[in-house]
Amino acid sequence: MNTITSAGIVVTLRRAFVAMALACAWPVCCLADNYDFYSNWPTHVSAADGTDFGLAVLYQYDINQFSNDAGKFEDANTNRRRYFGFYLRKPGVYDAIAQYDFQAKQWADAFVRFRSAGVFGKDVGNFRFGYSKTPVGFEGVTSTSATTFIEAALPTQAIWEGRRAGFDWALVRPHFIINIGDYFWRKDFDGNNPGSTWAMRAAWMPLNKPGDVLHLGVSASREKLDWADEGSVPSVARLRSRPEDGLSPVRLVDTGNLPYSKSVQRQGFEALWIRGPWSLQGEYLQAQVDRTNGKPNVDVNGFYVFTTWTLTGESRFYSDGNVADRRYNGRDLQAVRPTHAWGAVELALRYSELDLNDGAITGGREHDWTVGANWYIGEHLKFQTNYVWAFSDRGNLKVNPRIFEVRAQVYF
């Protein structure tokens, strides 16, 4: 384990601030007359009919420090995400985005979506074509820029499928939402993960107004795994999770490769309650890996629950079945929208648990506690800090690291 001193943290944060300042400086120098530090960055152009075109950028710089880790983790500080792309949107009619992560060297969202009410004059749902997030995993489908914690919870990391390419339909009403997707593209946009997926999600919102939300949902999917290399290599599934850090390659729980896997079935049960500055969110996720050639099937599960309190009085923003804006009508993706010039401050506490043991498969068990604080500055800047207590048990290996994390984020 390396040690980052307080002076080192200051230097690292200074570098992050410089990168963020450069991102801020670009719009100032180019279109200074329209510039507003807290809200309107002139990184987009709007036409008289409401059509909006602009940059879609997300930059995150992280610091991870580890202790009590039996020497298995190394402290790290580097870019976490570097999304760059473009979007085009006419509110109420369509929106499109193409965005690439230059840090992970893989595609993020790349799709076009039509709202039938604006296209046909009758609301029969929204139709999306392209590369987007699959719906089983409430925390997973939340915008990456709007997550409450720096990293996703244990079960989300292990079970959420991520993105696939195809078609999906969503019927959005004030008190319910239905989402069905057929992700038929044989591989993802990066040429990996051969297979296809059917998925659905439904949610009921008996309360749905700003600052007063109750959301109850279910989701399910079936991922069919294709054999790689035109059938010469058996398909493999693998379920694993980092201890809610993003910069270490170490996983304390991991099923290992599961050869001869023909499909993965996922189910989720989700809930969200928002009342003024308070919120409570939780989710239970499970997955079943179906295998051939005499190999046993594998069942795993996990859950998380967290609560938040916004000290400055704002509520978490909810729209179209999820936290933050879904880009249908607005550019703002924040979970908390500050009402003070100096920003909003949010405190959060999360418990998560994951069990990857099933019969002969000893992937291990882990549970984590995470406390966090978020500072939202205007619409585009956010600073986060988390402290994680991780407790794992995998065979004879028991490692219980403590993780301190800091993130600086700019997005527009």
What mean pLDDT comes out for the span 205-224?
Answer: 97
> Could you tell me the pLDDT band of residue 18, with boundaries at 50, 70 and 90?
very low
- Residue 399 has what DSSP assignment? -
For residue 367, the Cα-to-chain-centroid distance in whole angstroms is 20
Q: What pLDDT does 41 receive?
A: 85
CB atoms within 10 A of CB 162: 11
Q: What pLDDT does 191 receive?
A: 87
> Could you tell me the pLDDT band of residue 227, with boundaries at 50, 70 and 90?
confident
What mean pLDDT comes out for the span 204-228?
Answer: 94
Reported as a single tens digit per residue, the pLDDT across 339-380 is 988 899 999 999 999 999 999 999 999 999 999 999 999 889
Instruction: Please provide the size of the chain in residues.
Output: 412
Contact in structure between 200 and 221 (CB atoms under 8 Å): yes
Reported as a single tens digit per residue, the pLDDT across 144-155 is 999 999 999 999
- Residue with more model confidence, 28 or 210: 210
Asked if the model's pLDDT at residue 38 lies above 80, the reply is no
Give the integer Cα–Cα distance in Å for 248 and 67.
13
Q: What pLDDT does 234 receive?
A: 85
Q: How far are the Cα atoms of 100, 149, 264 from residue 86, in angstroms, in the given order?
A: 10, 26, 33
Tokens of residue 224, six digits: 């069919």
Contact in structure between 376 and 316 (CB atoms under 8 Å): no
> Could you tell me the pLDDT band of residue 34, with boundaries at 50, 70 and 90?
low
Burial 16-47 (b: 16+ CB within 10 A, else e): beebbeebbeebeeeeeeeeeeeebbbbbeee
Asked if the model's pLDDT at residue 323 lies above 70, the reply is yes
Reported as a single tens digit per residue, the pLDDT across 279-300 is 999 999 999 999 999 999 999 9
Asked if the model's pLDDT at residue 412 lies above 60, the reply is yes
Give percent of the chain with pLDDT exceeding 90.
Answer: 75
Q: How far are the Cα atoms of 12, 210, 232 from residue 166, in angstroms, in the given order?
A: 40, 32, 25
pTM for the model stands at 0.89
Contact in structure between 126 and 115 (CB atoms under 8 Å): yes
> Could you tell me the pLDDT band of residue 82, with boundaries at 50, 70 and 90?
very high
> Could you tell me the pLDDT band of residue 6, with boundaries at 50, 70 and 90?
very low
User: In sequence order, what DSSP letters do the residues of 351-387 get, joined into one string?
Assistant: EEEEEEEETTEEEEEEEEEEEEEEEEETTTEEEEEEE
Q: What pLDDT does 26 receive?
A: 42
> Could you tell me the pLDDT band of residue 23, with boundaries at 50, 70 and 90?
very low
Reported as a single tens digit per residue, the pLDDT across 128-143 is 999 999 999 999 999 9
CA distance between the termini of the chain:
36
195: CB partners within 8 A, 6+ apart: 186, 187, 223, 224, 225, 226, 235
Give the lowest-confidence range in 29-38, 55-64, 208-217, 357-366: 29-38
Q: What pLDDT does 233 receive?
A: 78
> Could you tell me the pLDDT band of residue 210, with boundaries at 50, 70 and 90?
very high
Asked if the model's pLDDT at residue 326 lies above 70, the reply is no
Average pLDDT along the chain: 89
Q: What pLDDT does 331 receive?
A: 59
